[in-house]
Amino acid sequence: MHINEHKLPAFNIYNSQILQVYDFWVLGMTNLFFWKCPTRVITEKFEISLSKNHIDVGVGSGYFLDHCLKKDTCRIGLVDANKTCLSATSKRIKRFRPETYVADIRDPLNVETEQFDSMSLNFVLHGLPGTMDEKSVVLGNVLKLLRPGGKLFGSTVLCDSSLDTGVAAKTLMKIYNKFGIYSNQSDTLNELKKVLNEHLDYIEIDIVGCVAVFSGSKKSTSLEMDNIRFPVSPFLFSEQ
């Protein structure tokens, strides 16, 4: 299992000291001045995409959930490989009594629970090691927790020469890649589109600075289609 074998900097770096400065440094400074994607843009994506039965994958400090979850949220799930992130976020949104799952999403998830109606995967893809094809496998792993037709949304920092990536952003990205905090050197917009297309319908991608803010609906696989019961007889629709 990955989680016992090698702790990735992409999740191992988040100890309680880092989490204390995360909102200021990552969401306040880096998004605005390096990636040129103000946190407000992502907050808006959360606000329009969250359902009342939501799961957040890669929770960090819990900032977006704390600011965007509506009072009438019925169920909220949290998935992360890092227990410090899970406990900080659980505490921050304890008013919603979250379900927490410790899991390295590079492995098939061993989580027995009802599927959720929406899922956020925000600032996680760029930290996963490997090519976009390998990240596609990870996406397949987490999507098991989302019902067919449910909405997946999030954002990821791309490394794509066609995007607005200034010198400061390139330098910071290089440093993060060197230390394994990011692994996004082959994450182009075309590669992202390809991966999202494999799993989702109705895809929307907004590029803001060098960040892709995306969403789409989980495709129904034939296996899952088998479990759908039709509420009315299909014969009702046959031509007379």
Interface residue list for ligand SAM (CB under 6 A):
8, 10-11, 14, 58-60, 63-64, 80-82, 85, 104-106, 122-124, 127
CB atoms within 10 A of CB 62: 23
Question: What distance in Å separates the CA atoms of residue 172 and residue 189, rounded to the nearest whole number?
Answer: 19
Q: Tell the smallest beta-carbon distance from residue 65 to ligand SAM (Å).
A: 9
Of 200 and 211, nearer to ligand SAM (C-beta) is 211
Pairing of strands 146-157, 53-57: unpaired
Q: Are 56 and 123 in contact (CB under 8 A)?
A: no
Q: Tell the smallest beta-carbon distance from residue 148 to ligand SAM (Å).
A: 23
DSSP string, 174-215: HHHHHTTS---TT--HHHHHHHHHHHEEEEEEEEETTEEEEE
Q: Are 216 and 202 in contact (CB under 8 A)?
A: yes
Of 7 and 220, nearer to ligand SAM (C-beta) is 7
Q: Tell the smallest beta-carbon distance from residue 177 to ligand SAM (Å).
A: 14
Q: Tell the smallest beta-carbon distance from residue 111 to ligand SAM (Å).
A: 12
Question: What distance in Å separates the CA atoms of residue 48 and residue 35, rounded to the nearest whole number?
Answer: 22
Q: How many residues in total does the chain contain? A: 240
Q: Identify any residues that bridge with 56 across adjacent strands, giving them in sequence order.
A: 78, 120
Of 195 and 236, nearer to ligand SAM (C-beta) is 195
Of 109 and 207, nearer to ligand SAM (C-beta) is 109
Of 82 and 90, nearer to ligand SAM (C-beta) is 82
Q: Tell the smallest beta-carbon distance from residue 60 to ligand SAM (Å).
A: 2
Q: Tell the smallest beta-carbon distance from residue 198 to ligand SAM (Å).
A: 19
Of 8 and 192, nearer to ligand SAM (C-beta) is 8
Find the helix or strand (DSSP H, E) in which 121 lies. Answer: strand 116-122
Question: What distance in Å separates the CA atoms of residue 124 and residue 56, rounded to the nearest whole number?
Answer: 11
| Reduced DSSP (H G I as helix, E B as strand, rest coil) percent helix, strand, coil of the chain, to 5 | 45, 20, 35
